[in-house]
Amino acid sequence: MTTKEALYNFCLRLGDNNLILGQRLAEWCSNGPILEEDLAMTNMSLDNFGQAEYLYEYAAELEGKGNSADDLAFLRDEREYFNNLLVEQPNGDFAVTMMKEMLYSSFAVSLCEALSQSKDERLSGLAVRMTKEVKYHYRHSSEWLIRLGNGTDESRTRAQTALNELWMFTADLFTMNQTDKVLVKAGISVDMNDLLPVWRRSVEEVLKAAKFKVPQNCHMITGGIDGQHTEYLGHILCEMQYLQQAHPGAKW
Amino acid sequence: MKKESSQLPLWEVFIQSKSGNPYKHAGSVHASDEKMALQNARDIYTRRGEGRSIWVVLSNNIAASLPADEDEFFDPADDKVYRHPTFYKIPEGVKNI
């Protein structure tokens, strides 16, 4: 695998994480618990879509086959999506969505901060920009979890259940394949193992303040970065890609 | 449970478009405390680059003049045209007046 191919795969992975998470958050549009939160979630969703677009544009250039960012988003199959399993999990109730957002955005903050030092200038530029957005996502979701954890019995139970159900997908965030090996060697990306303690600290800070218990000896499920997904991704793509698959090249 | 009790307290939002400019009332948000009010205000009123700074204040803490007082409060200002600074010449090059 050449460095260019690896960087293409990596941009797709980051783009896919953003697109799928953004699509999940967009499902809250008009269904938020209060108007303010409805807007906050769709705002974050738009941040994700924006990041996905930049990353796909770069990927398309690296690929050099004349594909557009839209082609990459709408014409790839489930097995060609490299997002982490966490982001494709269903929204569940508000507690699940906020827990998922916090677990992912804390990872995104540590990754984007590390990628700001990337030897690839375009990627480091994007990373600087993305860091600002994901920091806010982390802050917003953390605040809610601390409230839910210190709120009523019901809010505490729901958020703890969310943590128990999502924890099994967290190891997947730090998995690596050939793509990472090539990019780490080239100084373009980082060893994910180095991010783990940083992530762990920022997650535990929130969970402690919210008085949640971190699940112990949890069986971890991985495979997202190699295109092995849970049952949910296919359904998301089915809905998201329907128009372009049924009417290729459709515009409005 | 009464319907109103599920609503979080109301806050008024003031946005400053850039440093040095006055804060302008932008609207209101519901939030349980200052922190949440600031975040909600950020999400609702600064999405299109409207501001660089936000104030929030509990709506209950704002004292407002009463509509009944309107006449005695504001009518006397109607015929005091000399209170407008239009009788002065503004030196050239002075902005923001």
Burial A136-164 (b: 16+ CB within 10 A, else e): bbbbbbbbbbbbbbeeeeebbebbbebbe
Average pLDDT, chain B: 87
Cβ pair B43:A143 closer than 8 A? no
Distance CA A196, CA A136 (A): 20
- Chosen for mutation from B39, B42, B47 (greatest number of chain A CBs closer than 10 Å) is B39
CA-based nearest residue to A104, from A185, A47, A188? A47
- C-alpha distances out from residue A195 to A37, A126, A128, Å: 30, 19, 17
Distance CA A75, CA A244 (A): 7
Confidence at residue A185, expressed as pLDDT on a 0 to 100 scale: 95
Distance CA A184, CA A121 (A): 15
Question: From the CA of A206, how many Å to the nearest CA of chain B?
Answer: 16
Q: Which residue of B has its CA nearest to A41?
A: B43
CA angle A34, A37, A43 (to 5 degrees): 145
Q: Does ipTM come in above 0.85? A: no
The CATH homologous superfamily for domain B3-87 is: Phenylacetic acid degradation B (3.10.20.520)
Contact A188, A58 (CB under 8 A): no
In a 3-state reduction of DSSP, which class is residue A88? Answer: helix
CA-based nearest residue to A76, from A95, A96, A60, A58? A60
Question: From the CA of B21, how many Å to the nearest CA of chain A?
Answer: 25
Of residues A34, A35, A140, nearest to B39 (C-beta): A140
In a 3-state reduction of DSSP, which class is residue A160? Answer: helix
Q: Does A137 touch chain B (CB under 8 A)?
A: no
Distance CA A49, CA A59 (A): 15
Average pLDDT over residues A186-212: 96
pLDDT tens digits along B44-75: 999 888 899 999 999 999 999 998 888 888 88
pLDDT tens digits along A81-111: 999 999 999 999 999 999 999 999 999 999 9
pLDDT tens digits along A105-152: 999 999 999 999 999 999 999 999 999 999 999 999 999 999 999 999
Q: Is A10 exposed, middle or buried (0-12, 13-18, 19+ CB in 10 A)?
A: buried
Question: From the CA of B22, how many Å to the nearest CA of chain A?
Answer: 25
Domains of chain A (ranges, CATH numbers): 3-246 (1.20.1260.10)
Sign of the dihedral through C-alpha A20, A22, A24, A27:
negative
Q: How far apart are the first and last CA of chain B?
A: 53
CA-based nearest residue to A167, from A99, A109, A78, A239? A99
Cβ pair B39:A143 closer than 8 A? yes
CA angle A145, A147, A151 (to 5 degrees): 120
Contact A222, A216 (CB under 8 A): no
pLDDT at A163 over 90: yes
In a 3-state reduction of DSSP, which class is residue B18? Answer: coil
Q: How far apart are the first and last CA of chain A?
A: 38
Q: pTM, whole model, 2 decimals?
A: 0.88
Residue spans per domain, chain B: 3-87
Cβ pair A36:B40 closer than 8 A? yes
Contact A239, A187 (CB under 8 A): no
In a 3-state reduction of DSSP, which class is residue A121? Answer: helix
